[in-house]
Structure 1
Amino acid sequence: MPEITDEDRERVELLRLVSSSKHEFKNLTLEQLKRLQELVEKKDYSHDKKAHKSKVKLLGKINVRIYEITEGRGIWG
């Protein structure tokens, strides 16, 4: 069984914040979003097709939110 690293714990904690509510995603800071992006990109889900698909989808949402924050507005409003 692989050892659980501090990065794994940090990634899981950030993912818990995001998944606890659909609005929690908007409460993350830019730094938290960038860190989550980095941690998710590092994790290899190639062995699990569904997990890999979820990873790609989550990275897309993170990118959109980072864009919204850096541009100072939402894309749709």
Structure 2
Amino acid sequence: MSEESDELRRLLEIVSDKGLKALSVAELDVLRTLLEAKDYGGNKKADGSKKKLIRRINAEIYNKYSPRRFL
């Protein structure tokens, strides 16, 4: 469990410093999986932040797989 916590902390620090664009698709997928497994229980604010970040991660994965083309 602590190994997962360390990985989650490392990825969240990268996102905090450099944003989601700094992570590869594989790292984004790992971050999403670890966040979904994390339970914040009664803390509504933390749970809301988690859901918002998961939505942003999903959007970033979509953008990396199919980047928008400007003509």
Q: Please report the TM-score for the alignment, with normalisation by the length of structure 1.
A: 0.83
For the aligned residues, what is the CA RMSD?
Answer: 1.7
* Superposed CA offset, 1:3-42 (max 9, x none): x610001001000000113xx3102000000000000000
Aligned mates of 1:46, 1:54 — CA distance in 2: 13
TM normalised by structure 2 equals 0.89
After the TM superposition, which parts of structure 1 deviate over 4 Å for at least 4 consecutive aligned residues? none
- Structure number with higher relative contact order (C-alpha < 8 Å, ≥ 6 residues apart): 2
- Aligned partner letter, 1:28: L
> Of the candidates 4, 9, 25, which is equivalent to residue 6 of structure 2?
9
Alignment-mate amino acid for residue 9 of structure 2:
V
SS of residue paired to 2:42: coil
SS of the aligned residue for 1:51 comes to: helix
Instruction: List gaps (5 residues or longer) in structure 1.
Output: none
Please give the alpha-carbon distance, in whole angstroms, between the structure 1 residues aligned to 2:36 and 2:23.
18
Q: How many residues align?
A: 70
Q: Percent identity?
A: 38
| Aligned counterpart, 1:54 | 49
